[in-house]
Structure 1
Amino acid sequence: MYNLDYGYFARTSSSTSGSTSGSSVGVNVPPARSSFDSYLQKLHRDMHNEDLRAYCSQEKFSETFVTSVKQRYASITPGSIEPIFVAINLYNNEKILPNMATQLLALADTLGHDQIFISIYENGSEDKTKEILHRFDETLSALDIAHRIITDPTPKPQRVHRIEYLAKVRNSAMEPLYSSGEKYGRVAFINDVHFCLTDVLELLFQSRAQGAHLTCAEDFINWNGGPGLYDTWVARDIQGKRFVPEIYKMTRDDISMTAQMRDRPFQVQCGWNGMVVIDAKVFRGENGLRFRRSVKGECSASECSLFCNDLWRKDFNRIVMVPRVKLAYDTAVRDMLRKPINFPADIPYNSPEVEKISFRPGPETVFCRPLKNPLTDIQDDPDEWVKL
């Protein structure tokens, strides 16, 4: 694997000649990368944040774990998979951006700089998000990593419906892919979450292994002192029912719950949960899918829920949730997820074999919690069951 030690497994010890502070000993770091690293480290000190690489550093994991990671993702090397399109929307995300930028650079090292396109659409931020993105833009250009970063000063209009707006900004981040034909094989859409390189690699791995059309993570918040599933507005099990926050009671579907308890992937009707990998073919052609708001007579669901429903209607119905990829939106929950009780001891799988999912027919109807009022993000209409 190309430079896997740099980024995800970065050592936090002092560096030697030819490497920067925080990078692996002996790794030859380009000047542009070194300058950006120094900028991020200073930014974190100025913001009184924790060490930039502490969460994804080799010090956090055993040598056996590090070796198993390299073995599991040995097939993901430059030129071994189709190019990847990374899409991101940001707003006031200075706290997560340093880690996000670091892990995206590590992903580019792993896939190959010519095998990735990074598209970021930000608007309305009032913190240091724009400043960090401008420096990141310069670094990507210096490293010859294809990208488009838009920083828009326009905030969300107050009277525009939330879902209409979110669909628009998601499509803005995706626009370079919409106009690129068939160059990219998969899309990695990443929310404003804390993640590590192997979170993306595991979703890519499972997407390929399962032949999935959409592969999603699980995202968490603090729920009664423990991790609770966050995106229950979007996530639906294979019976079309909404998930609940309790991590050990998330779904009533027995097959799915057994897989959840064993940290194995399982089929769902819908999921987004902070990060997804999508087969790019679903966006292609005259009738390729786009993010959208509900139409008249349709339940006013999230743009991500509508995207899943559209996938099913077009027979792109291999949608997979991956419990091993657990994400958080703040550092407290992030650290909670890494405790042994929540972090599977056998990540990645000790067995080199992939447990293939036996895909089942989907539900006839799906639970929906509508959001019709453009002036609120709180449900103000009765629940509905939507026919697929």
Structure 2
Amino acid sequence: MNDIFFCRNDILELIYQSDFQGSDFTCPLDYLSVSGNAPILLFRDTWVARDIRGSRFGQSLDDLSYHFETRLRNTQKLPFQVQCSWNGVAILNPKPFYDKDPILFRRSHSDKGECSASECSLLCNDFWSRGYRRIVAVPEILVSYSLHDAVLLDTYYDRALKTIKTLNEKIKYVDGPQKILCVGLEGNNIIEPDMPGIWVNYTTGETKVQ
């Protein structure tokens, strides 16, 4: 968990969805606001989040991905499958951390030509490489990094609660992409990626999701 503002029941919902969806990695969406007559909430973690095609999320909370099934499920605020997500907090399958050859939060292996992605992106990739490939975002749950943004949630939640859901809550998992878009950060004392995006292989194993 990052240094976020969150509602207790939202964390319980993430735990529930992790169990219900049988997922290995379950996340909310994080957001920031743009001031105006009516503040606009925008998706925040575009550096890490990748849809199931391997593309970056957009910033509009209502239009995160061009992937058809993702767009449809997000419109109804239902959990959807992704290649990677973190977004402030994640409910993780603990097995990869104590299994044979346990994974760690790590830096990229730049000496081996690995793209200098976020440690959260690399964690997703390491989950994929070890066969833990069910990664889910729950758009009904939002978290923020400031009290100013946290108090803006009521309107979003009111709208989400009124959303008519016609699709099955249960995700039908599909196989992952062959490559993902990686945007590296190689400079010192900066917090924004400074390298052009490149499409890279992200797993040493298969991309099949079972």
Selected match of 1:198 from 6, 9, 28: 9
Q: What one-letter code is carried by the residue in structure 2 that aligns with 1:194?
A: F
Distance in 2, matches of 1:223 and 1:257, equals 23
Q: Counterparts of 1:130-279 in structure 2 under 5 Å?
A: 190-223=1-34, 225-279=39-93
Q: Is the 8 A contact 1:336 1:342 kept in 2?
A: no
CA distance, structure 1, for counterparts of residue 151 and residue 53 of structure 2: 32
TM-aligned CA distance change 1:220 to 1:269, over 3 Å:
same
Query: Which of residues 146, 165, 173 in structure 2 aligns to 1:330?
Result: 146
Cα 1:340–1:384 change in 2 (3 A) is closer
Contact 2:54 2:179 survives alignment (8 Å)? yes
State the SS of the aligned residue for 1:315. coil
The secondary structure found in structure 1 opposite 2:152 is helix
Please tell me the residue identity of whatever aligns with 1:261: T
CA positional deviation for 1:343: 4.5
Give the secondary structure class of the aligned counterpart of 2:81.
strand
Determine the C-alpha separation between the residues in 1 that align with 2:158 and 2:149: 11
Which among 125, 131, 137 is matched to residue 321 of structure 1? Answer: 137
The 5-angstrom pairing of residues 1-388 of structure 1 reads 190-223=1-34, 225-295=39-109, 296=111, 297-339=113-155, 343-345=159-161, 355-388=169-202
Note if contact 2:106-2:119 (Cα within 8 Å) is conserved in structure 1.
yes
Equivalent-residue separation in structure 2 for 1:290 and 1:356 (angstroms): 30
C-alpha spacing 1:372/1:338, structure 2 compared with 1 (3 Å): same
The one-letter code sitting in structure 1 at the alignment partner of 2:62 is Y
Normalising by structure 1, report the TM-score. 0.48
Query: Secondary structure at 2:90's aligned position in 1?
Result: strand
Runs of 4 or more off by more than 6 Å in structure 1? Answer: none
Q: Is the 8 A contact 2:76 2:165 kept in 1?
A: no
Q: CA deviation at 1:285?
A: 2.3
SS of alignment partner, residue 339 of structure 1: helix
Give, in whole Å, the separation in 1 of the partners of 2:174 and 2:187. Answer: 35
Q: Which runs of 5+ in 2 are unaligned?
A: 203-210
Percent identity, aligned pairs only, is 37
Relative to structure 1, the CA distance from residue 203 to residue 312 in structure 2 (aligned partners, 3 Å threshold; closer, same or farther) is: same
Q: Which amino acid aligns with 1:326?
A: L
Q: Offset at 1:346?
A: 5.3
Instruction: With a CA cutoff of 8 Å and minimum separation of 6, indicate the structure with the bigger relative contact order.
Output: 2
Matched positions, count: 197
CA apart distance, 1:258: 1.0
Q: Secondary structure at the match of 1:275?
A: coil
Q: Distance in 2 between matches of 1:283 and 1:386?
A: 25
TM-score using structure 2 length? 0.87
Letter in 1 for 2:32: I
Looking at structure 2, the residues matched to 198 and 342 of structure 1 have their Cα atoms a distance apart, in angstroms, of 16
For the 8 Å contact 1:223–1:245, the answer to whether it is kept is no
Cα deviation, residue 316, structure 1: 0.5
**Higher helix proportion, which one?**
1
Q: What stretches of structure 1 of length at least 5 have no aligned partner?
A: 1-189
SS at the partner of 2:196?
coil
Deviation at 1:303, TM superposition (A): 0.1
Question: Counterparts of 2:184 and 2:31 in 1: how far apart (Å)?
Answer: 22
Deviation, 1:342, is: 5.9
CA contact (8 A) 1:264 1:324 kept: yes
More off after superposition, 201-210 vs 372-381: 372-381
Shift of 1:379: 2.7
Q: Can you list the C-alpha shifts for 1:263-310, whole angstroms capped at 9, x where unaligned?
A: 100000000001110011121123111100000200000000000011
Q: Distance in 2 between matches of 1:237 and 1:263?
A: 15
Q: What's the CA shift string for 1:222-273, capped at 9, x where partnerless?
A: 1463100000100000000000111122111111111111110000000000
Structure 1 vs Structure 2 CA RMSD: 2.2
Mapped partners of 1:342, 1:193: distance in 2 = 21
1-side partners of 2:41 and 2:8: how far apart? 21
